[in-house]
Amino acid sequence: MKNNFQYLLVMVYIFSSLNSLHAQWQTTCQPGAVTDVISSGSNLYVNNGGTIYLSLDNGKTWTYIDNGLPHGSGIITTILANSGTIFAGTSSSGLYRSSNNGNNWFPADSGMSAWYNHISTLYSIGDTVFVSTIIGDNNLDTGRVFRSVNGGLYWTSADSGLPNSIVRYNQYYGIGVSAFTSIGSTLYAAFYNSSSDYGIYKSTNYGTSWS
């Protein structure tokens, strides 16, 4: 009898532990289908494709923050927080930045060609921010990488050594650099296009050159 009781206690403990593990995640008040979530200090920001929302209370409530941003379904492609500045990439209107928690947004593509208006990826190492873009030209899109060291006020090209990233937009969704990551100060870029130029490229000088 004693052994049976001990066995029962063990099973109850295991069952309770499993339930506790499964209860670690809870749904917050979600503003639609979310594609990105980032934090800046104690603020949470989410992108649902059409706009950006801000939460000041750990996700309990959300506020719509779009003053200065373009509107439309799928217009916001990606968001990034860096040193108190929030960046928002768009699918046809370039890059925007906010320095007051998203209350006001302003264009932030100085130094980029006006044609590079589709922002696909944002990434940062320290105070250096990287952006991957594409340019639309009928059926062809050409990807570029730009870099900013002053909070997005000005951008310079940072794709020397990367392949010519031309893709046929009506057949592929590959757009040159599709993702960045880093180990220390070494930057890695995932690259894809419609030819054989795909794989991982590396830069040890903050995007000045790639191999």
| CA atoms of 176 and 156, how far apart (whole Å) | 17
Render pLDDT for 108-144 as a digit per residue (tens, 0 to 9). 989 987 667 888 889 999 999 999 887 655 445 567 8
| CA atoms of 62 and 52, how far apart (whole Å) | 10
Query: The tokens of 45 are what?
Result: 């920001």
Render pLDDT for 16-40 as a digit per residue (tens, 0 to 9). 554 555 557 777 766 677 888 999 9
**What is the pTM (predicted TM-score) of this model?**
0.81
Query: The tokens of 102 are what?
Result: 């998203």
Closest CA to 91 of 50, 52, 53: 50
| CA atoms of 61 and 42, how far apart (whole Å) | 14
Rg of the chain in Å (alpha carbons): 22
